[in-house]
Structure 1
Amino acid sequence: MGDIFGRALLDYQHGNYSEDIKTYSSLDEEDVIPLPYLFRNFSEMPKLEQKALKLARGKVLDIGCGAGNHSLYLQDKGFDVTGLDSSSGAISVCRERGVKSLVNSSILSYDKERFDTLLLLMNGIGLAGSLTNLDHFLQHLASLLRPNGQIVMDSSDIIYMFEQDEDGGYWIPDTGTYYGEVTFTMEYKNEKGEPFDWLYVDFHTLQNACEANNLNCELVHSGEHFDYLAKLTKRQY
């Protein structure tokens, strides 16, 4: 079947909501993604998301647009916004909800237009998958920017998920990989999807990656739970 995320969104959109998406991660965490939360309006969004949307300017690409909450908000404000998602179900839901410009594609396969603002919310940088892919991912994003364009993104430092010792240090298993690399599996209505890699990146690591790729990286907002909002721009020479 595939596209578990899209199927769940379509069910909710069509009034067939009976359960949420379950997630399993390589951190031995089980969790749920409540479907109503994926259809939230501006007033229901966390402050970090609201701040991100207020930073948007010019022509906008909403990467990983999901059910289209951010695209719809910006469209209502008069922005020229395109929603992009690799889930065909998500794109169908966005279309039904009234998002005018949509692209069904992974971000790394997309290079058709240039934008003033790239939005990567709900830890959109996670699409990079791993720290080793982050350079390539940032370079691709930068290639989609118009002159003076910006990338507005959030992420979390998931160090808090590891045990802490009395000195305040953290016990991180020595697996040879960065601790923010997580593999997720989604389950919906007893069907499990394919595992996928996801990246949570702490701000200092993101800053270093931006530095290496000729990008400025500005911390815009720190959330209450190790999360943050950042703005990336190309260096001017």
Structure 2
Amino acid sequence: MQKETDTWYTSWFDTPFYHILYKDRDYEEAGFFMKKLTSFLNLSEKSKILDLACGKGRHAKYLNKIGYDVTGVDLSASSIEYAKQYETKNLHFEVHDMCLPYPDKFDAVFNLFTSFGYFEKENDNLRTIKSIKEELKPNGYGVIDFLNTDYVLNNLVPSEVKTVDGIDFYIHRYLDDGYIFKDIRFTYENERYFYTERVRALTLEDFKNYFFEAGVKLVNCFGDYHLNKFDKNKSERLILIFN
């Protein structure tokens, strides 16, 4: 079954297979990162945080657990439907397109786990950063947690088979036309599936250009979830803090 669409993320993110493939994400590491980040930003208790492209809400739930007033938004209706079971007085989830400003103001806006750069239109990357700017209170901080393109391309594993819950996912990675692609093929209940992930191979310089055009300032740049200094050749992540 061909499941690739012009906007691949709207179909792939809404499937149960996406969450099966990535079920081994490190929740302990995610919690550590959230503690480290909120401490670095000196966010006081009950500060308002927007989790942009929150998925099923793993970061949003943790942030709420440690005392913050959190709103999680995502384009995936099924992910938000799932996340809503965890809503509390200070934890809310809503379907929302992150290219558009959310109608509220926050002390911090987090865009985590490479939830950026997959748009069909190049201008949507800039629109998203402009939207984050609109969502921030005075002296608030935007955070984008992206992959380090240089490191990824230098360490790219072209092909692998990953077996999760009895499903063999055949994965092929490659660079084409400025995008990092991941083709994913598998068979489930005698039906064949094919999805493609695509993310723009953005570098630190690309983000600096976006920030300049959006009228925001890069404050800090880190290379991992321990907030160590960014090294384009060695860092696995590109974590940008701006206001």
Indicate the TM-score class for this superposition, using the shorter chain for normalisation: 0.5 to 0.7
Tell me whether 1:44 sits opposite 2:29 in the alignment. Answer: yes
1:138 matched residue in structure 2? 129
- Following the alignment from structure 1 to structure 2, what is the Cα–Cα distance between the partners of residues 200 and 119? 20
2:81 matched residue in structure 1? 92
AA partner of residue 216 (structure 1): K
Cα deviations across residues 160-210 of structure 1 (Å, max 9, x unaligned)? Answer: 45469xxxxxxxx8x7x5x3x3355566744345x5642342223212321
The match for 1:120 among 111, 118, 123 is 111
> Structure 2: which 5+ runs fail to align?
4-9, 156-174, 225-233
Higher deviation after alignment, 213-222 or 130-139? 130-139
State the shift of 1:87 in Å: 1.0
1:212 matched residue in structure 2? 213
State the shift of 1:152 in Å: 1.1
The match for 2:149 among 146, 149, 158 is 158
Query: Cα–Cα, structure 1 residues 215 and 131, in superposed 2: closer, same or farther, change >3 Å?
Result: same
- Following the alignment from structure 2 to structure 1, what is the Cα–Cα distance between the partners of residues 98 and 115? 10
- Following the alignment from structure 1 to structure 2, what is the Cα–Cα distance between the partners of residues 129 and 227? 23
- Following the alignment from structure 2 to structure 1, what is the Cα–Cα distance between the partners of residues 16 and 42? 28
State the shift of 1:48 in Å: 4.9
Tell me whether 1:231 sits opposite 2:233 in the alignment. Answer: no
Secondary structure in structure 1 of the residue aligned to 2:13: helix
Cα deviations across residues 114-135 of structure 1 (Å, max 9, x unaligned)? Answer: 2221100102233555654432
2:13 matched residue in structure 1? 5
Contact 1:219 1:231 survives alignment (8 Å): yes
Cα deviations across residues 20-49 of structure 1 (Å, max 9, x unaligned)? Answer: 33xxxxxxxxxxx3x142xx53x3338655
> Structure 1: which 5+ runs fail to align?
13-19, 22-32, 165-172
1:29 matched residue in structure 2? none
Tell me whether 1:76 sits opposite 2:86 in the alignment. Answer: no
- Following the alignment from structure 1 to structure 2, what is the Cα–Cα distance between the partners of residues 123 and 56? 23
Percent of matched pairs sharing the same residue: 17
- Following the alignment from structure 2 to structure 1, what is the Cα–Cα distance between the partners of residues 206 and 24? 33
Secondary structure in structure 1 of the residue aligned to 2:137: strand
State the shift of 1:9 in Å: 7.6
Could you tell me the TM-score, scaled by structure 2's length? 0.66
Could you tell me the TM-score, scaled by structure 1's length? 0.67
Contact 2:152 2:236 survives alignment (8 Å): no
State the shift of 1:70 in Å: 1.1
AA partner of residue 242 (structure 2): L
